[in-house]
Structure 1
Amino acid sequence: MDGSNRNAAGDTPTMSPQPADLWVDDQDWIEGDIPRRPWIAPGYALRKALTVIVGPPGGMKSSLSLAWAVSLALGKPHGRFDPQTTAPVVIYNVEDDENEQRRRLSAVLRQFDAMPADIKGRVIRTGPKKVGTLVVRTDDGIVAETTAFANLKRIVTENKARLVIIDPLVELHNVDENDNTAIRAVLAELRAFAVAEDVAIIVMHHTRKGAAANAGDPEIGRGASAIIGAARVILTLGPMTEDDAKAFGLPTDRKARSNYVRLDDGKANYSGVDDAAWFEKILYTLDNGETVPAAVPWQPPSAKMASLEDLAALARAIENGHPSGEPWSPKLSGEGRAIRPLLEEHGFVGAAAQKAVMAKLAADYSVVEAKFKTRVSRNKVIGLRIGCKPDAEWLNDA
C-alpha cells in the first residue's frame, strides 16, 4: 500500500487515515538506524519474548536456569549464556520452596566464586504458598490472570527485573494442555506481560511421557503445538546418549552418562542454530553438610589429530593384519577383527577421532575396504588392505 488516495481530480494524493489498532509502515529506512534486537543473552533470552526450555523431570532444567539468573545478576557468562548487561532477575518456582532455592543457589554460586550477599536484591525468588496458577479459564471461557500473577507482576516492576524465570509451565494454568486454543491464550498472557514490562521470560517445560530424547526437537515437549508457535526461542535439555558417549570416548554406562546433559537449539527465530552446549553435574558440599548438584559448563574432549608417526604405525599394523591372521575389519566396534581397539591403542578414542584418522589413512596410504574369503568358514567378508597386503584371498570387487 502507498498510504495515500487520489482526490476527485485524480492528481493530488491525500494521506489515508491510519487504523487505530494496527501499525502501518510503507517508508524507506536507513539500516544503521534500525534498533538492535534487545537480547539479554544472545540466543537465549530476548526482552519482550518467551524462551521455553524443554527437558525431562530431574534433567537439571532448574539448576541451569538458576545459573543463568546468577549470570545476569553478576554480569558474568555461564557457558554460552553471555549477559549483555547486569540486571535483577525474578524467579517464580512452583515446585521448590524457599530453602530448596537457597540450597540450589548455594551450589550455583560456588562456580561463580560468589556469595549469597553478592546477589542480594538481584536474584529475587518467589513462589506460591498454596496453588501456583497464574492464568485461569473460567466456566464461561474467559481467560483471566490470578491474584498470584498480579503479585508477580508487581514484584517484577518494583525490582526493575529484566529476566523472569517461571518453573514449570504445567503448573501455571488450569486448561487442557493439549488444547491449542487454550494454551495459546495462556501463553499470550505471558507474552503480553513480557512486552508490557520489557522483560525476557524463560519458561521451564517438561517432555512428554515416553518421548525419545531427540536433541533439538521441540516436539518432545508436553501438550499442544501452540507452545512452539508462541515461543521465540525453544531449547531442549537432555541426557547424554550412548552414541554421544562413544563419540567422546567416554564410558557408555548409564551412571557415567547421567553426569552430563546437552542443550540444543530447537527453535531460534532470531539467531542461528548452534552446536550442542554441554553441562556436567558437579556436586558441591554446602556449609550445612548437604551435597547439592549444579550444572557446570563442560567442554567435550577434543579429537586427537593424527601425526605422521601415528599414520605410519597404523599403516604398518594394517599391512600386518589382525592378530588372528586375517585382515582388520573397518568396523568401529569391539567385535572380532574390528579396527577400533587398534585405533584406541594409538590414542584415537571416540567415533569422531577414529573416523578422521581412517579418512586420513585412506587419503595418504590408500587404505581401502575390499572383500576376501575367511580361512576357516570361507565366507566373503570385508577387510582393510594396502595394495594387496595383508596376505589374504582377496576377491575382485566386481
Structure 2
Amino acid sequence: MHERYFNPGPRTGATIKTHAPDVAVEPLIRATPYEFKDPASIPPRNGPEPEPFDDDAVIIAPIRTELGRACELAEGGVRVVPVDRKTGRPLVMAEDATTDLDVIRKWWREFDRPIAVAVAIVEDNRTRYWTQSQASLISAKQFTLRDPSMIPKREWLYGNHLIRKFGSATIALGGVGKSSLETVEALALATQRSLLGITPRQRCRVWYWGEDPIEELERRFAAACIHYNISNEDIEGYLFVNSGRDCKIVIATQTRNGATIAEPVVDGLLATIRHHSIDVVIIDPFIKSHRVPENDNGAMDAVAETWIGIADAANIALELSHHSRKAGGAEVTVEHGRGAIALINACRSARALNSMTPEEAAKCGIEYRKGEYFRADDGKANMVLPAEKAIWYRLQSVALPNSPLGPSFPGGDWIGVATRWKRPDLTADVTATDFERVAAFIRIGNWRADPRPRTGSAMRWSRACPGSRSRPTRPRSKP
C-alpha cells in the first residue's frame, strides 16, 4: 500500500491524499478543455494577404487571448498565428503558423498593437482563423425526436434523492442529525441494504468527506456498524472516508478578480473518483469546500456549478450537506439555506431536516426529549413528485467498547445513530363503530350557529367522542 499526495499549490491551500494498492496510479494532470482535429495537417492558405475571419467559419472551442495561452496551445502541437485583437486580421502569413515557442514570443514582442492568438483551421480548402472575439460562442443545435425507448433512463441510486450526474442537498440547523443520517445512508449505499427503509438500486462505492477529525468520523461509522450489524468485510472496497482536517478540498477561492476555480483541485478530484470508481460523493459540509462569500450569488453559483460539473463528468451522484441560517423558532425549509440561493437552484433534489417539537411529541403520545427525533421534508424535487408525508428518524444511542479500562468495561463513548421511526397513527384504534357513533350524534338535530359550547352539550359530545377538542353543542329545546 502506498500514499499519493496531490498539492495544487499554495494559492488553493488544498491537498488531496489518496490510498491505493501497489499499482500504477494515473497522474493527476491538468486537463485541457480544447480539442482540435489534426492541427498539424492544416495546409497554408493561398494568396499574399491573409484574409480576415469569416463569420460562417467553424467554431471549435473558446480560447483565452494571452501569450501564455498561445504557448500552451503550441506545446500541445497546435499551430497558431497572431491576429489583431480589434479587427481580427491575421498579422502573419498562413504559412508562418507555427508551434515554435521562440517565434511566438517574438511576435508578442514585435507587434506594437494589442494582439490575440488564433488557430488556423481549414474548411473547403480555405484556411480560416478562429478567434474568440469574432465569433459567437453559442450555436443552436437541431433537435431530432428519436424513439423514446432509446432514451437512457434516469439513474436513481437512493430513493428519489440521489441520482447520477446531478447534485442533491440536505439543509438543516447544526445538531439536528445531518451527519448521523448521511453516515447511515453511506453505509446503506455501500452494502445495498435497506437500513432506513430505502433499498439502494445498486451497490455503490461511496466517498464520504467530513469536516471532523478522522477519529470522530470513525466513531460515527463504528456505532452505525454495531447497530446495523455491519462488518468490515461488508464495506471493504466500497466505502472511502476522509477528514477535512488532513485532506482539505477547496475548489474555489475569492480573489480581487472574483471567485477563482482551483482547476488543479477539480482535476485531482476527478482523477481520484475515477481511480476508485466512486459512485456517490458526500461533502459534509458544503461550506468547507470553498473560500468564497456565501452571500455572493455569482460566486456561489460558480462553486455550485463546478460541483455539478464534477458530478456530470465523473457520472456520480453528489450529496452536499449545507447549514441553514437561524429560523427564529420557525421550521427550516430549503430556502433557509445559509447564504445565496444559488446552491439550491443548482441541485435537483433538496430536503430540509427539523427536530421534533414538544407539541409534536404530545400529539404523538411520546415523551419529548430534545434532539432525539427529527424529520426530513422534500423541499425541492424537480424530477419526481414531492413526498406527501415527511420521513421521521430517531437517534438511537449506541455504546462504543472504547473505555480506557478495556472493551468489557463501561465508560466508552455513546454515539447517536440514525434509525427510521414511524410516527404513531392516532386513528389506528378507532373502529367503524366509533365513527358511526359520532355520526349518529351529529344527526340528532339542528345545531345553532354560535360555535361556543355549552356545558351540557359539551359533556354529551365528549361522551360520544372521547378526547375530541372540537365539541359542537346542541340547542336547548324551547318550552
Is residue 310 of structure 1 aligned with residue 434 of structure 2?
Answer: yes
* Equivalent in the alignment of 1:86: 203
| Residues 17-56 of structure 1: pairs in structure 2 closer than 5 A | 24-56=141-173
Q: Are 1:55 and 1:238, in contact at CA under 8 Å, matched by a contact in 2?
A: yes
Q: Are 1:54 and 1:234, in contact at CA under 8 Å, matched by a contact in 2?
A: yes
Is residue 270 of structure 1 aligned with residue 383 of structure 2?
Answer: yes
Q: Distance in 2 between matches of 1:287 and 1:87?
A: 29
Q: Are 2:158 and 2:198, in contact at CA under 8 Å, matched by a contact in 1?
A: yes
* Equivalent in the alignment of 1:228: 344
| Residues 1-398 of structure 1: pairs in structure 2 closer than 5 A | 24-94=141-211, 96-128=212-244, 129=246, 132-145=249-262, 150-214=267-331, 217-251=333-367, 253=368, 255=369, 258-274=371-387, 275-288=389-402, 289-305=412-428, 306-311=430-435, 326-328=456-458, 339=462, 343-344=466-467, 383-385=472-474, 393=476
Figure out how many residues of one structure are paired with residues of the other and give that number: 324
Deviations 1:11-52 (A, max 9, x none): xxxxx9997565724222222222111111131101111101
Deviations 1:300-352 (A, max 9, x none): 11233432553577789999xxxx963328xxxxxxx99599634xxxxxxxx
- CA change 1:384–1:229 in 2 (3 A) is same
* Aligned partner of residue 457 in structure 2, secondary structure: coil
Aligned-CA RMSD value: 3.2
What letter matches 1:240 in structure 2?
M
Deviations 1:59-108 (A, max 9, x none): 110111111111111011233543110011001112x1111111101122
Deviations 1:95-138 (A, max 9, x none): x1111111101122234321233212211001332755332233
* Aligned partner of residue 328 in structure 1, secondary structure: helix
Q: Distance in 2 between matches of 1:74 and 1:293?
A: 20
- Give structure 1 regions of 4+ aligned residues with deviation exceeding 4 angstroms: 16-23, 146-151, 311-319, 337-342
**Please, what TM-score do these two structures have when normalized by structure 2?**
0.61
* Aligned partner of residue 384 in structure 1, secondary structure: coil
The offset of 1:285, in angstroms, is 1.1
Q: List gaps (5 residues or longer) in structure 2.
A: 1-55, 61-137, 403-411, 445-453
Q: Distance in 2 between matches of 1:262 and 1:312?
A: 34
What letter matches 1:282 in structure 2?
Q
What letter matches 1:310 in structure 2?
D
Instruction: State the identity as a percent.
Output: 26
Q: Are 1:109 and 1:115, in contact at CA under 8 Å, matched by a contact in 2?
A: yes
* Aligned partner of residue 466 in structure 2, secondary structure: helix
- CA change 1:338–1:169 in 2 (3 A) is farther
Q: Distance in 1 between matches of 2:463 and 2:339?
A: 43
Q: List gaps (5 residues or longer) in structure 1.
A: 1-15, 330-336, 345-353, 359-368, 370-382
Q: Distance in 1 between matches of 2:249 and 2:145?
A: 47
- CA change 1:27–1:271 in 2 (3 A) is same
The offset of 1:179, in angstroms, is 0.6
* Aligned partner of residue 420 in structure 2, secondary structure: strand
* Equivalent in the alignment of 1:378: none
Q: Distance in 1 between matches of 2:466 and 2:219?
A: 45
Q: Distance in 1 between matches of 2:283 and 2:355?
A: 22
Q: Distance in 2 between matches of 1:239 and 1:340?
A: 35
